[in-house]
Chains A and B, each alone.
Chain A
Amino acid sequence: MTQTPLDAIDRALIVATQDGLPLVPRPYETIGAQIGISGGEVTCRLQAMLANGIIRRIGAVPNHYAIGWTANGMTVWDVADERVDELGALVGALDFVTHCYRRPRALPDWPYNLFAMVHGSSRQEVGDKALRIAELLGQACRASDILYSTRILKKTGLRI
């Protein structure tokens, strides 16, 4: 993955915005005043960091419980190594999967190497969606589980 070192001003900009953008009519001007640059330079730098991927997006993160997605299941799958990349891409393309990664197994406690996050309004819904993943994986999948979340313990995001 391409890495772009941050200069001191970009870093200051991230530190100034990581607790949130100010809720004032001209937020970029306010941020700029805190770190000694203009509002215009703030937007230029944010635009550049969006373009090179340092910033994934600018927006709000809802508490998914609060907006009706009360069942959250981390579905995990033990998929044959030689097929996991091909099948992971297909699982990731399902419209109800919000995150999909390959991760290392931790044997003997943890045989799973494919993780797909599935949200629903009920465990039934999440379970039905997991069945669709199981069908897609077919015999390449040897074991699976669904880890439902029961509490958000922390959700602050990255801090530098």
Chain B
Amino acid sequence: MPELDAVDRQIIAKMQGDFPLCERPYAAVAEVLDIPEGDLLIRLQRLLDTRVLTRFGPMMQVERMGGAFVLAALAVPEARYDAVAALVNALPQVAHNYRREHAFNMWFVLATETPEGIAEAIVRIEGDTGLKVHAFPKEREYFVEMKLAVRQ
């Protein structure tokens, strides 16, 4: 992973939410951070290119648009792990996917514009992989806060 300096860390902390809705939002953020706008843009590009930041933009809440968001898991035989990961990741409905240590060793989130889209994606993954998809739709949300401080 790339080394981050103090300015990078401030940028990461500052950019996790509340990006301004004004004509020159980067200039507004840069002013708060006390760096030139051009430096902010160059550093952001580098942080995105090196995957320190994985996304930057509006984070959608798909249920509010009538869509659905479902956590699902597969128990993937180790010998087939990479091939199955490629099949699962190829679907645009797969928003993220993590390898975890458990018999259920692949955990991914399906996000679709319609509730029916979830069932379609599950059928597709089961057909492509020959493995049973275990779906864990959320029944109740107690808390979500994705911001994490820079820690190193």
Residue total for B at the interface (Cβ-Cβ under 8 A): 81
Contact of A103 with B71 at beta-carbon distance under 8 Å, contacts A110-B134, A154-B89 already known: yes
Within 8 A of A (CB), among B48-76: 48, 50-67, 69, 71
Identify 17 residue pairs between A and B in the complex whose beta-carbon atoms are under 8 Å apart, listed by A's number. Answer: A21-B19, A21-B57, A28-B25, A58-B18, A58-B57, A66-B4, A67-B151, A68-B151, A69-B151, A98-B146, A99-B145, A115-B136, A152-B96, A152-B97, A154-B89, A155-B96, A157-B111
Q: What residues of chain B lie closer than 8 Å to A92, measured between beta carbons?
A: 142-143
Q: Are A158 and B111 in contact (CB under 8 A)?
A: yes
Q: Are A121 and B140 in contact (CB under 8 A)?
A: no
Q: Are B96 and A56 in contact (CB under 8 A)?
A: no
In the complex, A143 has a CB within 8 A of chain B: no
In the complex, B122 has a CB within 8 A of chain A: no
Q: What residues of chain B lie closer than 8 Å to A153, measured between beta carbons?
A: 85, 88-89, 96-99, 106, 108
Query: B99: which of A85, A89, A103, A151 is its contact (CB, 8 Å)?
Result: A151
In the complex, A8 has a CB within 8 A of chain B: no
Query: B138: which of A62, A65, A66, A102 is its contact (CB, 8 Å)?
Result: A102
Which label, helix, strand, loop or mixed, suits the secondary structure of the B interface? mixed
A residues neighboring B (CB under 8 Å): 1-6, 14, 17-21, 23-29, 39, 43, 46-47, 49, 52-69, 72, 74, 85, 88-89, 91-93, 97-104, 106, 109-110, 115, 119, 121, 145, 147-160
Q: Are A154 and B94 in contact (CB under 8 A)?
A: yes
Contact of A63 with B98 at beta-carbon distance under 8 Å, contacts A102-B140, A158-B62 already known: no
Which label, helix, strand, loop or mixed, suits the secondary structure of the A interface? mixed
How far apart sit A97 and B148, CA to CA, in the bound complex (Å)? Answer: 11
Shortest CB–CB separation between residue A54 and chain B, in angstroms? Answer: 5
Q: Are A49 and B58 in contact (CB under 8 A)?
A: yes
Contact of A60 with B12 at beta-carbon distance under 8 Å, contacts A49-B58, A103-B137 already known: yes
Q: What residues of chain A lie closer than 8 Å to B59, measured between beta carbons?
A: 55-59, 61, 157
Nearest CB to that of B151 among chain A residues?
Answer: A68
**Of listed B2, B136, B144, B149, residue having the most chain A CB within 10 A:** B136
How far apart sit A95 and B4, CA to CA, in the bound complex (Å)? Answer: 25
How far apart sit A26 and B44, CA to CA, in the bound complex (Å)? Answer: 15
Q: Are B23 and A62 in contact (CB under 8 A)?
A: no
In the complex, B79 has a CB within 8 A of chain A: no
Q: What residues of chain B lie closer than 8 Å to A1, measured between beta carbons?
A: 63-64
In the complex, B5 has a CB within 8 A of chain A: no
Q: What residues of chain B lie closer than 8 Å to A53, measured between beta carbons?
A: 61, 64
Nearest CB to that of B15 among chain A residues?
Answer: A60
Within 8 A of A (CB), among B86-114: 88-89, 92-104, 106-108, 111, 113
